[in-house]
Amino acid sequence: MNTDLEKVILSADEINTRVQEIAIEINQNYEGSVREVILITLLDGAIVFTADLIRHLSVPIRLDCIRVSSYGNSTNPETAPRILGSLKSDVQDKHVLLVDDILDTGNTMKKIVNEVSVQKPASLRTCVFLDKPERRQNNFQADWSGFSIPDEFVVGYGLDYAGRYRELPYLGTLKPEIYSHNT
Ligand code: PRP
């Protein structure tokens, strides 16, 4: 375990097992009914989850990325989510799957869903690795969610604190002194 971590919440094995289960559900949803899915991953946090998930998908995908930022270097959203850049895909009449690492307040997903919806996709689904229902500021619910977790700040498997720890293959909480070093 990384020495900055207080505890591991989800091991790499638990994560891998769950990612495969989600992929099966997604495959069942699309298989036989759609030719192709445009999978839009929300940078930066969803990179790791997306990379693992797509390798278990049987439905053909086109990968697109969108960068959204709201957290800066803190553990709480500092600003309303900002969309940085634009999609390369034309999503009109296409089947779209949005993938993010965590559903927290729900403001990011709600904003992206609104943005994509106006382009009239044939269908729009959402998939998140983690869900923190206690933190929600709206009624947003993902179609697929890996794990529901309590309101604790977590890092690893794509999730960062001040840009660090994304590469850890497991999910954990940081020791309190790590935050005090950054304030
Ligand atoms: C994080 C995370 C989600 C979003 C969830 O992004 O990746 O996209 O916040 O929060 P919300 O439900 O409260 O809107 P962040 O801004 O930290 O950028 P990152 O993906 O680059 O880490």
pLDDT confidence of 155, banded at 50, 70, 90?
A: very high
pLDDT at 98: 98
pLDDT at 89: 82
pLDDT confidence of 146, banded at 50, 70, 90?
A: very high
| Residue ID of nearest Cα to ligand 1 atom 13 | 105
Mean pLDDT lowest among 29-38, 74-83, 157-166: 74-83
Closest ligand 1 atom number to CA of residue 70: 16
Average pLDDT over residues 92-110: 96
List all residues 6 or more positions away from 155 whose beta carbon is below 8 Å from its beta carbon: 5, 161, 164, 165, 166, 168, 171, 172, 173, 174
User: Measuring from each residue's beta carbon to the nearest atom of ligand 1, which residues come in under 6 Å?
Assistant: 42, 44-45, 68-71, 77, 81, 100-108, 160
Place of tokens 């604190």: 161
In this predicted structure, the answer to whether residue 74 has a pLDDT above a threshold of 80 is: no
- pTM as predicted: 0.93
pLDDT at 77: 58
> Rounded to whole angstroms, how far apart are CA atoms 127 and 39?
10
Q: Choose which residue among 41, 42, 67 to substitute to test ligand 1 binding: the one with the highest number of ligand atoms within 8 A of its C-beta.
A: 42
Residues that are catalytic: 104
Structure tokens at 8: 């591991």
According to DSSP, the β-strands at 123-131 and 144-148 are parallel
Structure tokens at 178: 């790590």
SS3 content of the chain, % helix, strand, coil (to 5): 25, 30, 45
Cα of 32 from ligand 1 centre, angstroms: 33
> How many other C-beta atoms lie within 10 A of the C-beta of residue 121?
20
Q: For 38-51, what is each residue's pLDDT tens digit?
A: 999 999 999 999 99
> How many other C-beta atoms lie within 10 A of the C-beta of residue 128?
28
Cα of 169 from ligand 1 centre, angstroms: 18
| Residue ID of nearest Cα to ligand 1 atom 6 | 69
Average pLDDT over residues 156-180: 95
Cα of 17 from ligand 1 centre, angstroms: 24
Question: Which one-letter DSSP state was computed for residue 156?
Answer: B
Q: Choose which residue among 40, 65, 71, 132 to substitute to test ligand 1 binding: the one with the highest number of ligand atoms within 8 A of its C-beta.
A: 71
pLDDT at 121: 97
